[in-house]
Amino acid sequence: MDNKIRQELDKIEIPKELNSRVIVGMENAKRDYERQPKPESKGDRKIWSLRRKIMFFSSVAVLLLVVFISSAFVSPAMAKVISSIPYLSSIFQSEPIGSLIFDELEEKGYKISGIGTRYSPHKTFFVTLEGTDEYYREIKDEVKKTVREILKSKGYDAYSVEVKKVRKEDYVLSEEENKEKNIIENEVTKKLKQLNYKFDQVQTDPTEKTIFINIVGSKKYYHSVHDDVKKMALEVADGNKYKGYKINVTRVTVEVRPSGKGGQITSTIAEGLMSKKEFKVTGVGYKDKPLSFIISTSILSSDPTARALGTEIESMIVEFLQSEEISPIVDNEPYEIIVNSKDNKKIN
């Protein structure tokens, strides 16, 4: 949080009912901070110290963000401060959207089997419910409404919301279904390799009669092989006497790795840019060496607004990377930001 925002905060009186929450939260963050185990080796101490500082700052920042949101309904001054926090930094300081939604649904007592986001063929936030058919029919609209309200509160207007029921509660594939799954996955994988297709995943759901194949590569490559891959997989299933399968060929472009400098911050960039329609972002990825952030959009390079959009996206990411929270992670390493159009031309 920069000095300007901090100065504005000093002018604002925190409501009494929130003051105790701030004190308790600060104490909890401090306690967690002090309980972190010290490293054995001397060489790790610098990294450990930085992680402790970031962890403590993030804990307090999340708490303050909650207080901001709670106070914004009664304090115009607080609402003004919230709006001055850079967009991506505000996401970094708060919980991931999936965690917020899961916690809210769990607190309301819904029987949640799983939640997640799907980017192909459309951006969708989905929730899977456990329980009987009657229970599902009774609460599905309430769950969908709750998810929509949380997305709306964050300004995330790019997602549709889908609520489904687990096909069978605690369902375990039968021996025959497992055999079917393994045969199809092995045979389709073998055929894809023989034909030199670029892919990273083949999954089969015999209960839904669907084969999922994820293609790796550019959009141009994906579109050039999509129909052939779909036809080939269907032939493999039919050839093994497994009829009636649907083939879902996708190209997942969001790349969030657990390690490396890029991986620590790409998840925030992806959530922020892909969740709002105005940014027209369809994919976010990065490379470690050299450190590069690659943003794919749905706008054509011939669109007169393409250059302005690319520049705006780049400016937002630069502002985020140079913030007090993120600059220690980047640690002065040179980086490149590439914003591409739908026809794969650089627009920033």
Both 111 and 149 in a single domain?
yes
Domain end, chosen from 126, 144, 165, is at: 165
Whether 170 is in a domain gets the answer: no
On whether residue 62 sits in a domain, the answer given is: yes
Residues of the domain holding 299 = 260-340
Residue 117 backbone phi and psi in degrees, to 5? -120, 145
Residue 207 maps to a domain = yes
Task: Tell me the pTM.
Answer: 0.56
Structure tokens at 308: 């302005």
The residue out of 225, 250, 275 marking a domain boundary is: 250
Query: Is 92 domain-assigned?
Result: no
CA separation (Å) from 127 to 54, 113, 164, 194, 267? 32, 8, 6, 37, 20
- Clarify whether residues 78 and 22 are in a common domain: yes
**Domain boundary at 203, 227, 250, which?**
250
Please report whether residue 57 resides in a domain. Answer: yes
Query: Total domain count for the chain?
Result: 4
Q: Is residue 270 part of a domain?
A: yes
Is 109 a domain residue? Answer: yes
Give the CATH number of the domain where residue 200 resides: 3.30.300.20
Local confidence pLDDT in tens for the 348 residues of the chain: 445 445 554 554 544 444 444 444 444 444 444 444 545 544 444 444 444 444 444 444 444 444 444 444 445 554 555 456 688 988 888 888 888 899 899 899 998 888 888 877 789 999 999 888 899 999 999 999 999 999 999 999 999 999 998 765 456 778 898 899 999 999 999 999 999 999 888 989 898 899 999 998 888 899 999 999 999 999 999 999 999 999 999 886 654 444 455 666 888 899 999 999 999 999 888 887 788 899 999 999 999 999 999 999 999 999 999 998 888 888 888 999 999 999 999 999
